[in-house]
Structure 1
Amino acid sequence: MEKKLKLWDATMLVMGSMIGSGIFIVSSDMMRNLGSGYWLIAVWIITGIMTVAAAISYGELSAMFPKAGGQYTYMTEIFGRMTGFLYGWGLFTVIQTGTIAAVAMAFGKFTSYLIPALNNSQPIFQSGSFKITWVQILAIVIILLLTYINTKGVKNGKFLQNIFTTSKILALLGIIVFGFLLVKDSQWTENMSFGWNAFQDFGKEVGNDLVPTGWQSIGSVTLLGGIAAAMVGSVFSSVAWENVTFMSGEIENPKKNVVKAMVLGTIVVMILYLLVNFVYLNVLDRDEIAFADKNRPAVAASEVIFGNLGTVIMAILVMISTFGCINGLVLAGARVFQTMAKDGLFFKQAIENNKNEVPEKSLWMQGIWASFLALSGQYGDLLDMISFVIVLFYMITVFGVIYLRVKKPNMERPYKTWLYPITPILYLLIGSAFCILLIWFKPQYTWPGFLLILLGLPVYWFINRRKTD
């Protein structure tokens, strides 16, 4: 593959893939689970530490295996074809495509703030609870449009990524600055007055329907359950940085630039996320964050900051953000499926590059399946289930750093994980706590996603049986 992406392009891909719709939405659900500004900040800091620790650990693998496929390649090289396939299976069925669908739907929903007719019109088709709306059609159009643009060459996708990522970073910085300069009545002190015990107080104040009664009977451990449930949102908002590893085959000097892009990109994004939440806590009181209209605290905050124009400003910002995010996900994901096809683990048609040196058929397979998920309306449920599985795959990959150090200490390592073994162990400890607490407190977020991945086993066995026949 041609090396068309420089360090700046790779960093923009990391940041653009991370910043989608989550940061504008998830803080409402997080506040309902936590009830305090202290805990909201603490959970974002924990998520930030997790994310950067994973990126630093991945850097060692990206330097050892500087080729297309990224995380799929690492898992295949370290743990074998079946583990790599299960990751790729999950990526195609829901992790990558489901995220594309969800972010495209967010684009459509925020567009409806500017074009109310999108929301107000009757469904195009409805049968029982299933319906097809104009917002879904717009989401599909955006997915297919960006898929088409990316079939025309890496240069086009790179240009879009750089423009939209730069735009949304500048816009976020504007929201952060104005969120403190233009607001006269700060809610910061009140939001912080609830202290570290706000979880229990919040439950009593707003009713037990928001704090499941089973949690309260466990006593002090209840709070940990709130943290784990809240982290579903912050983790979802902080994934996809590893998309840059999928593009390693097209990045200049991948042994150095991939790790630099991952570490720099994740650090900057997590700082931005923390500052945006500071704005929420400064502009809105606790209930306004927790019960923002349609779970959109960013819109509520923007209305306070900018007045009547706030809704329009935030809608435009989210449209820019989600458009750039979808482009990054579309650009990177298809490279994994192409690499899987080369290994005999995906449709062989995905192998070919077109005249623009991009995997066109792989791009269209990804785009069509993401469009189907958007049309089905099931992407939201799937993504609730998949955060757990994403962290599990991150943990397996990070563990691979330690595994290779023990099993193959003499392998060439152009980059070594900073503060090894503290960094990977830190990630594994936080990730394990997150997964265990979710299994304990929120099993509906865990077993369905795990089951979805296990469904890949018979597919893998069928593929390999067909190869040996």
Structure 2
Amino acid sequence: MPTASPLRDAGVISASAEEHSLVRGITFWPATMLVVGNVIGSAIFLTTGPMIQALPSASLVLAAWLAGGLMACAGGLTFAEMGAMLPRSGGMYVFLEEAYGPLVAFLFGWTMVLVVLPGGTAAVAVGFAESFSYFVPSLSTARLLTVIPLPVGTLSISAGQVIAALSIAALAVGNLFGVGAASRVAAVVTGLKVLAVVAIPVVTIAVWPHTPELTPIVPPVARPLAAFGVAMIAVMWAYEGWAYLAFAAGEVRDPTRTLPRAFIYGTLGLTVVYVLVNVGYFVALPLEALSGEPRVAEKAMTAVAGPLGATVVAATVCLSTLGCNMSAVLAISRAGYAMAVDGMFFRFASFVHPKYRTPHGALLGLACWSCALTLSGSYEQLFTYVMFAA
């Protein structure tokens, strides 16, 4: 039985007004691209090197990426079923509210909108700024702009942090002008970044400087099963974000048909892309050269295309992280909106723009909080902040 909304009960918003406040403007293709776009960030360019260090077997590393994709697909089917049953904006908050009641939903929702979603968005934005500084070095996080004294310590603000905050602000403003237009733009950006990511295996396989070492399958380590588990941690982080489409379920057109298809095609497409990219790494360089390499994509592309390869990777990371945050900003606002409608978050987050039918209160408020977080610390500090809460 649906949980009652205090705002509806108090007459602040009527049931009919709530039902028609957001527009179901997200069709199948933009929905699928939201699944893909919110997953492909920077992890695919960075994680394979540490994975090989723990699990020195190309076959098992590829198996880990395949297993992670199948797990994401299974999770997507679960969320598709829940989203079809409860086609409302809010995602996991709505599911927990229906299953376990308002207390669990309240605790989860506040953790998501205060820490996990805006903190993750801030971290990805700082990652975008770092990649952008490859082209404009004066705008890196290493360039300090000011130091603000605080009652406890100081706050240092760099040029890169300002760029990160501006990118979030721009994406939030772009999301104001209707979910249909925003989702279509996100779909185009995601399509471009998928093409850019797929260029890595296409180029490396075309050049084919090295034959992948697929044997021995079982690596010469003391505990191969434990090593596979360590590799899976990195894989699951790289697949993180596929569930965020559920936050916008209330704006998906024909959710009973669209959500299952979007989750299935999105997660399976991600699996294919991730496996192909890793095949490209193994074709470009031997395992010894990839092991422990923090910038594995840059090293692989440099090996086959020289300095131009590094430039292509930097541009791809910029596009990838920006596209990732386009989907994340949408997810943050819908989580805050759903909580506000139930009276569990600030009332301004329940406001819907009369013309564009987007939750502009939640969009702007939570974007401001994400911007504040970008100015509060480094990428590593923001990542730790999110992982501690998650």
Once the 2 structures are TM-superposed, how far is the Cα of residue 225 of structure 1 from its aligned partner? 3.8
How has the CA–CA distance of structure 1 residues 33 and 386 changed in structure 2, closer, same or farther, with 3 Å as cutoff?
farther
Change in Cα spacing, 1:378 to 1:92, as seen in structure 2 (3 Å) is farther
**Alignment partner, residue 170 of structure 1:** 195
Residue pairs, 1:316-355, within 5 angstroms: 316-355=315-354
Matched, 1:267 2:268: yes
Counterpart CA distance in 2 for 1:199 and 1:113 is 37
Kindly state the Cα deviation for residue 174 of structure 1 after the two structures are TM-superposed: 2.2
CA shift, 1:28, in A, is 2.1
CA distance in 2, matches of 1:377, 1:230: 28
Distance (Å, rounded) in 2 between the aligned partners of 1:82 and 1:196: 47
Q: 2:144, 2:159 within 8 Å by CA — same for their partners in 1?
A: yes
Structure 1 Cα separation of the partners of residues 368 and 184 of structure 2: 23
Distance in 2 (CA, whole Å) between partners of 1:380 and 1:56 is 33
Once the two structures are superposed, residues 150-198 of structure 1 have per-residue CA deviations (whole angstroms, 9 ceiling, x without a partner) of 1222234223201101101122222221120123x21512xx3454133
Distance in 2 of aligned mates of 1:120 and 1:325 = 20
In structure 2, do the counterparts of structure 1 residues 264 and 69 end up closer, same or farther at CA, with 3 Å as the change threshold?
Answer: same
Q: 1:29 to 1:125 in 2, by over 3 A?
A: farther
Q: Output the CA distance in 2 between the equivalents of 1:297 and 1:239.
A: 20
What is the CA–CA distance in structure 1 between the aligned matches of 2:385 and 2:307, rounded to whole Å? 37
Shift of 1:125: 3.5
The question of whether the paired residues in 1 share the 8 Å contact of 2:120 and 2:382 is answered with no
Residue number in structure 2 paired with 1:74: 95
Equivalence for 2:121: 100
In 2: Cα distance, 1:290 partner to 1:131 partner: 35
Provide Cα deviations, 1:373-420, integer angstroms capped at 9, x if missing partner: 222226535545756xxxxxxxxxxxxxxxxxxxxxxxxxxxxxxxxx
- 8 A contact 2:38–2:328 mirrored in 1: yes
Provide the residue aligned with 1:51 in structure 2. 72
The amino acid of 1:171's aligned partner reads A
Between the aligned partners of 1:113 and 1:283, the Cα distance in structure 2 is: 23
Q: Which of 26, 34, 53 is equivalent to 1:32?
A: 53
Change (3 A) 1:287 1:132: farther
Aligned with 1:23 (options 36, 44, 53):
44
Cα deviation 1:309-349 (Å, max 9, x = unaligned): 11111111111111111101101221111011111111111
Q: What is the Cα-based RMSD across aligned positions, in Å? A: 2.2
2:163 is matched with which residue? Answer: 138
**Who is 1:362 aligned against?**
362
Query: Which protein has the bigger helix share?
Result: 1
1:373 and 1:286 map into 2 onto residues whose CA distance is 38
Q: Distance in 1 between matches of 2:130 and 2:380?
A: 14
Of 173, 188, 192, 1:148 maps to 173
Assess, with a 3 A threshold, how the Cα gap between structure 1 residues 121 and 342 changes in structure 2: closer, same or farther: closer
Distance 1:121 1:336, change over 3 A: closer
Moved more, 342-351 or 230-239: 230-239
User: Which residue pairs with 1:239 in the alignment?
Assistant: 240
Q: Is the Cα contact below 8 Å between 1:179 and 1:282 reproduced in 2? A: yes
**Among residues 58, 64, 79, which one is paired with 2:85 in the alignment?**
64
1:287 aligns with 2:288: yes
1:197 aligns with 2:196: no
Distance 1:77 1:121, change over 3 A: closer
Matched residue type, 2:167: I
- What is the aligned residue count? 364
Which of 110, 134, 150 is 2:131 aligned to?
110
In the aligned structure 2, how far is the partner of 1:120 from the partner of 1:48?
33
How far the C-alpha of 1:287 sits from its partner, in A, is 3.5
1:15: how far off?
A: 0.9
Contact (CA 8 Å) 1:288, 1:297: kept in 2 or not? Answer: no
Give 1:245 deviation, angstroms. Answer: 1.1
3-state DSSP class of the match of 1:2?
coil
Structure 1 counterpart of 2:186, from 161, 186, 200: 161
TM superposition score normalised by structure 2: 0.87
8 Å Cα contact 1:140/1:371 also seen in 2? yes
User: Following the alignment from structure 2 to structure 1, what is the Cα–Cα distance between the partners of residues 247 and 117?
Assistant: 12
> Which residue identity does 1:361 align to in structure 2?
G
Greater shift after overlay, 122-131 or 360-369?
A: 122-131
Q: Distance in 1 between matches of 2:183 and 2:129?
A: 23
Secondary structure of the residue aligned to 1:124 is: strand
Q: Which stretch of structure 1 is more off in the superposition, 281-290 or 345-354?
A: 281-290
What is the letter of the counterpart of residue 307 of structure 2? N
Flag the 1:118–1:198 CA change in 2: closer, same or farther, 3 A: farther
Alignment CA distance shift 1:386-1:332 (3 Å): closer
Asked whether the equivalents of residues 113 and 335 of structure 2 are also in contact (C-alpha less than 8 Å), the reply is: no
Alpha-carbon separation, structure 1, partners of 2:307 and 2:263? 38
Structure 2 unaligned runs (5+)?
1-21
Pairwise CA distance, 1:237: 1.4
Identity %: 30
Question: Aligned with 1:4: secondary structure?
Answer: coil
Q: Does the C-alpha gap of structure 1 residues 383 and 352 become closer, same or farther in structure 2, counting only changes over 3 Å?
A: same
Tell me, yes or no, if structure 1 residue 87 matches structure 2 residue 108: yes
Post-superposition CA distance 1:267-302 (Å, at most 9, x none):
10111111111111111222332343xx11111111
Q: Is the 8 A contact 1:36 1:199 kept in 2?
A: no
TM-score normalised to the size of structure 1? 0.73
Alignment partners' CA distance in 2, 1:367 and 1:379 = 17
Residue equivalent to 2:14: none
